[in-house]
Structure 1
Amino acid sequence: MTDDAPDGDGLKAADAKTLHRTVRESGEDELRRPAMQLFWSALAAGIAISVSLLTEAALHAALPDAPWRELVSGLGYPVGFMAVILGRMQLFTESTITAMLPLVTRPSRWALARTLRLWSIVLVANLLGTALAGLAIATGAMGSDAIRHAALAISAGITELSAGRTFVNAIPAGFMIAILAWALPNARSQSVAVIFIFTYILTIAGFSHSIVGSSEAFLLLFAGQTGVVQTLAGLIAPAVLGNLVGGAGIFAVLAHAQVRGEPPQGEEQ
């Protein structure tokens, strides 16, 4: 039994190192992508992620007013994530871990500048996409009246939290999406199930995801139920910062700590 333990530990260390390298190399590729490629991919992601709200609203509208309605309508929440992640689109919360690993592995001004550039482009384009989708839902251009009313009812929930509580509530969401991005290279044929499980837990637990939440925030804004300052400073900004702390902060540090002290691939002695 004692002879088997080192091999088991070695296998775990190798798995962690392999995952770290895979996610880091993906992040390095993203850091090198041209700005316009990042923008259009992130814009598409912002529009596509809004399918989560639409699917939730469609289920909500079709279900009776019962205590279990939110649990069932929440089954629609993962749909937008599946479209974005499986479609290889740029999602801000997913890039918090992938872009952070190259920076913490090989700290440099170039890596810092490229990380900030990536986050800025992707975040702005994601929000522009969700704003367009929110406007389309609010004006009736997308979905029926029943779906629009259901989407407004679902979205109203984000106004129940203060900016401070939204920030704290967004930290576990950023952490969980970072875990998702970390786990997907190993998921292979189980990718759909992994995405579904993580994102469904996200919605039934009521955690704040900045990009899906921005779809709801912009819908409320364009429907005249919130103001510009409340939407940007009270609803979206705290969620963005909380997701960053959970993903690029807490999880990235923990993930990198597993292989800290080992040279990056290609630099072994």
Structure 2
Amino acid sequence: MPTQAAGVHKTIRSEGEKELSRTVSALFWSALAAGMSMSFSMLAKGLLTFHLPDSSIGYLVASLGYTIGFLIVILARQQLFTENTVTAVLPLMSEPRFSKLLCLLRLWGTVLIGNLLGTAIAAYAIITMPVFDSETHQVFLGIGKHLLENDGGMMFAKGVFAGWLIATMVWLLPAAGQAKIGVILIITYLVAIGGFTHIIVGSTEVLYLVFDGKVSFGVYLLDFVLPVLSGNVVGGTFIFALISHAQIRSDK
């Protein structure tokens, strides 16, 4: 119903207003924590892959590990970049002003830098601390290598789908109530089995390769960050958020 959609829109917009008013320091530390927390997606998926047979069933079960980082970050209310492609954009769409655009760019920049720095810290810690044996290490490397098999166009296109799905999850959560965990699991599991590319989860996987000397930092930036970040923003903001906002404006 239009009134229900408008209610969800208002709730998300209010959350976005709060995020836009937060200090840079608060945003950064929350984003840093989120980047580190998202590393558990790679860890969980890698550990499940290590203990499961190399089969379609094994892949489907191991992909459940991908959801762990999202569960931690969202339930702990840490700052994740792809969530803000919807939440913080709606206030700007509702009241287009240059001041709000600057606040949005400040939020996006702070959260993205914090997230990526957090993934770098986590990836370096995992690869240097004596926690996992060499066989598990090879599984972690395999995840990153598989991700880099996508060319730039595929990285971007899969990033669009990931951005759309994460934006859909953000839209669904206010009305989910006690089913919030289920919504997070279903949406992020779909991202995992679809092989869709997410800028923060994938950064842990590719930076793991960088710190092991398998690929250069330039490969990480040009072959992964640039196309995937663009795809996530396009899917989450310029498609989902715009369409959802247009629906509400049309109802009014």
TM-score scaled by length of structure 1: 0.91
Task: Report what 1:216 is aligned to.
Answer: 205
Matched, 1:191 2:171: no
Structure (1 or 2) with the greater helix fraction: 2
Residue 145 of structure 1: aligned partner? 134
**What residue in structure 1 maps to residue 14 of structure 2?**
25
Give per-residue Cα distances to partners, 1:82-106, cap 9 Å, x unaligned. 0000000000001100011011100
Larger radius of gyration: 1
Q: Which of 240, 248, 251 matches 1:259? A: 248
Of 95, 108, 124, the match for 1:106: 95
Map Cα deviations across residues 215-254 of structure 1 (whole Å, 9 max, x no partner). 1111111111111111111112211110000001100011
**What residue is the counterpart of 2:33 in the other structure?**
44
Change (3 A) 1:187 1:141: farther
Q: Which of these residues, 58, 66, 70, is aligned with residue 69 of structure 1?
A: 58
Aligned pair partner of 2:4 in 7, 10, 15: 15
Cα pair 1:93 1:177 within 8 Å, conserved = yes
Residue 30 of structure 1: how far off its partner (Å) = 0.1
CA distance in 1, matches of 2:231, 2:85: 11
- Number of matched residues? 252
Query: How big is the shift at 1:112?
Result: 0.3
Cα shift at 1:261 = 5.5
Matches within 5 A, 1:81-160: 81-160=70-149
Which 5+ residue runs of structure 2 have no aligned equivalent?
none
Secondary structure of 1:260's partner? helix
SS state of the match for residue 226, structure 1?
coil
Q: Distance in 2 between matches of 1:150 and 1:261?
A: 50
Check if 1:34 corresponds to 2:29.
no
Deviation of residue 262 (structure 1)?
6.6
Q: Match of 1:136, SS?
A: helix
Distance 2:132 2:121 in 1: 14
Q: CA deviation at 1:20?
A: 0.3
For the aligned residues, what is the CA RMSD? Answer: 1.3
CA contact (8 A) 1:140 1:148 kept: no
Structure 2: distance between partners of 1:59 and 1:144? 15
Does 1:233 find its partner at 2:246?
no
Q: Cα deviations across residues 119-166 of structure 1 (Å, max 9, x unaligned)?
A: 000000000000111111222455443332211111211111112220
Indicate the SS of the match to 1:249: helix
Identity %: 43
Contact 1:54/1:143 (<8 A) preserved = no
Q: Structure 1: 5+ residue runs without aligned partners?
A: 1-11, 264-269
1:207 partnered with 2:187: no
Indicate if the aligned counterparts of 1:217 and 1:236 stay in contact, CA closer than 8 A.
no
1:56 is aligned to 2:55: no
Residue identity opposite 2:66 in structure 1:
Y
Give the conservation status (yes or no) of the 8 Å contact 2:2–2:251. Answer: no
Residue 201 of structure 1 aligns to a residue whose secondary structure is helix
Aligned to 1:179, which of 154, 158, 168? 168
Q: CA separation in 1, counterparts of 2:181 and 2:134?
A: 30
